[in-house]
Amino acid sequence: MKIGFIGLGIMGKPMAKNLIKAGHELTVYDRASGAMDELLSSGAKAATSAKDAAMASELVITMLPNSPHVKAAVLGEGGAIEGLTPGKVLVDMSSIAPLAAKEVAAELAKKGVEMLDAPVSGGEPKAIEGTLSIMVGGKKEVFERCLPILQSMGSSAVLCGDIGAGNTTKLANQIVVALNIAAISEAFVLASKAGLDPDTVFKAIRGGLAGSTVMEAKAPMIMAGNFKPGFRIDLHIKDLANALETGHEVGVPLPLTSQVMEMMQALKVDGKSGNDHSGLVQYYEKLAQCEARKRP
């Protein structure tokens, strides 16, 4: 299939590469022209705008940081909507506010263009592996039509409801991930301050009820002090802001989410917003004056 891919950041680039590996013809676009070079060497064609990418494709995928970026890339001047025609589909795989997804879908519908909101979970490692978890909102028939494409990038793709449901599910996911990282951080700093090797604690508890995919992915990073971003703190702040806003809209208090949000905001003030979200441990380390590092 001819696919337009807009947004070639930490996540978008490996996702686009997996589509090429699956045999699809890609036309790619990113505002940072240098971001396209690696894809061009893999066989993709370069577009000069989101509109250009959409004109050359049957299906367009967007993978961008937040709601304003998606609205600009799709609905703005030179946006994808100008190159989309009836029968084409736009799949937004960004993590944005559910209301924003509905607004974009409504504008596309006026042109006879279908849309799915399909945010992902798994970070850069699973984007590279092509094993992302994909949460989808939209019409069932459109989802089924796009499923083989989604399966080229993820190990699972689940239709969660109508437009906006994918991003609501992603917000729930991000709450669970953030609270998991906070709990792991709190526990490991406690263990370290009490004189234990956090790696021993990790080995002791990973097979029990406390074990989780988050622990398996983030505990080794915490213990190595490796906060090279797979998913940055500033992006998790964005997701938690969308979660809190959505919670307020539907009447659901989110007290634990708000607490973790303030921890991340403190790290942002401390100049650490570009760290991986496993760097949340640094909030606890600063309070306890103790690092949760694996011992030699």
The position carrying tokens 């992006």 is 235
Q: How far apart are CA 221 and CA 243, in angstroms?
A: 26
Q: How far apart are CA 26 and CA 47, in angstroms?
A: 10
Mutual angle of helices 98-109 and 233-250, in 10-degree steps: 80
Q: How far apart are CA 72 and CA 77, in angstroms?
A: 7
Task: Determine the straight-line distance between the first and last CA of the chain, rounded to whole angstroms.
Answer: 51
Nearest alpha carbon to residue 131 among 122, 141, 118, 143? 122
Q: Which two tokens stand for residue 141?
A: 């028939």
Contacts of 26 (CB under 8 A, 6+ apart): 3, 4, 5, 16, 19, 20, 39, 43, 44, 45
Contacts of 295 (CB under 8 A, 6+ apart): 197, 199
- Sign of the alpha-carbon dihedral angle for 117, 118, 124, 130: negative
- β-bridge partners, 89: 59, 114
List 17, 170, 218, 238, catalytic entry: 170
111 is catalytic: no
**What single-letter DSSP state applies at residue 76?**
S
Exposure string of 261-273, with b = 16+ CB inside 10 Å and e = fewer, is bebbbebeeeebb
3-state secondary structure of 92: strand
Catalytic machinery residues: 170
